[in-house]
Amino acid sequence: MGLARALWQVFLAWGLVLGTTQAAPVAVAVASNFAAPMKRLAPDFEQRTGHTLAVSLGATGQFAAQIRHGAPFAVLLAADAQTPRALEAEGWAVAGSRVTYARGQLVLWQREAAGPPLNEARLRRGDFKRLALANPKLAPYGAAAMEVLQALQLTDKLGPLLVEGINSTQAYQFVHSGNAELGFIALSQVWEDGRLREGAIWRIPENLYRPILQDAVLLRSGQTHPGARAWLQYLQSEPARAIMRAYGYTH
């Protein structure tokens, strides 16, 4: 009896391990500005927990629309706090699950490291043909860029030069491809391990735009998935925060 019970406990424990490792991946919708740290966060999480992630990158506004139409995402990592709050209020997200996982920084970026310095004076001169930004209606970083232009009273002057991407990634691509000389993007898109990877930036003073608090929330579709809750807990851990700091995010 004792041996049989011991063997049963071993088999049960092994079954629980298999159940964890073979569970369906956690479907995570992630704001595009957070793509770079996700490349390091996802494998670290998977190694630590045994859960796997299925990551989709895009604009926060687009994800919100998809979630409201029944998209089976388990967790949303938004580029703002307002969208997760609204989804929670509407019943699409689990009440009390919302957490701020990062605070983002807006920068003005150019691909070339040399050339005129990037600063407010350069923006006021307007000596460029195209200025890229994410769609302000869909992407919080685009909305923050418009707040900067409004605060500097440059909306009318620079409005004809604006080129809108769907999200921050597309705004970055416009500049990287040469279709725009300058672009408003997230610092994390060009910053890694405490240094600038390419080009030149102007860190936009944070008094020119509202704080970009990025919230994550457990969605209704993921409330029974243990990996979804584990992912939210992991985002608040020191190993995860250390990775985020390497890309310029604060908390």
Has this prediction a pTM greater than 0.85?
Answer: no
pLDDT at residue 18, rounded to an integer = 36
pLDDT at residue 155, rounded to an integer = 97
pLDDT at 13 over 70: no
**Residue, of 250 and 146, whose pLDDT is higher:** 146
Q: Please state, for a pLDDT cut of 90, what percent of the chain lies above it.
A: 86
pLDDT at 2 over 90: no
Sorted by sequence, the CB contacts under 8 Å of residue 213 that are 6+ apart come out as 80, 81, 100, 103
Convert the chain into a string of H (helix), E (strand) and C (coil).
Answer: CHHHHHHHHHHHHHHHHHHHHCCCCEEEEEEHHHHHHHHHHHHHHHHHHCCCEEEEEECHHHHHHHHHCCCCCCEEECCCCHHHHHHHHHCCECCCCCEEEEEECEEEEECCCCCCCCCHHHHHHCCCCCEEEECCCCCHHHHHHHHHHHHCCCHHHHHHHEEEECCHHHHHHHHHCCCCCEEEEEHHHCEECCEECCCEEEECCHHHCCCEEEEEEEEHHHCCCHHHHHHHHHHCCHHHHHHHHHCCCEC
Mean pLDDT of 49-53: 97
pLDDT band with cut points at 50, 70 and 90 for residue 7? very low
pLDDT band with cut points at 50, 70 and 90 for residue 17? very low
Each residue's pLDDT tens digit, 182-220: 999 999 999 999 899 999 999 999 999 999 999 999 999
Domains of the chain in sequence order = 2-103+212-246 (3.40.190.10), 104-208 (3.40.190.10)
pLDDT at residue 194, rounded to an integer = 87
Each residue's pLDDT tens digit, 151-184: 999 999 999 999 999 999 999 999 999 999 999 9
Each residue's pLDDT tens digit, 142-156: 999 999 999 999 999
Arithmetic mean of pLDDT over the chain: 91
pLDDT at residue 11, rounded to an integer = 31
Cα–Cα distance, 178 to 43 (Å, whole number): 33
pLDDT at residue 31, rounded to an integer = 95
pLDDT at residue 210, rounded to an integer = 95
Each residue's pLDDT tens digit, 74-115: 999 999 999 999 999 999 999 999 999 999 999 999 999 988
pLDDT at residue 138, rounded to an integer = 87
- 1-10, 24-33, 106-115, 214-223: the lowest-pLDDT one: 1-10
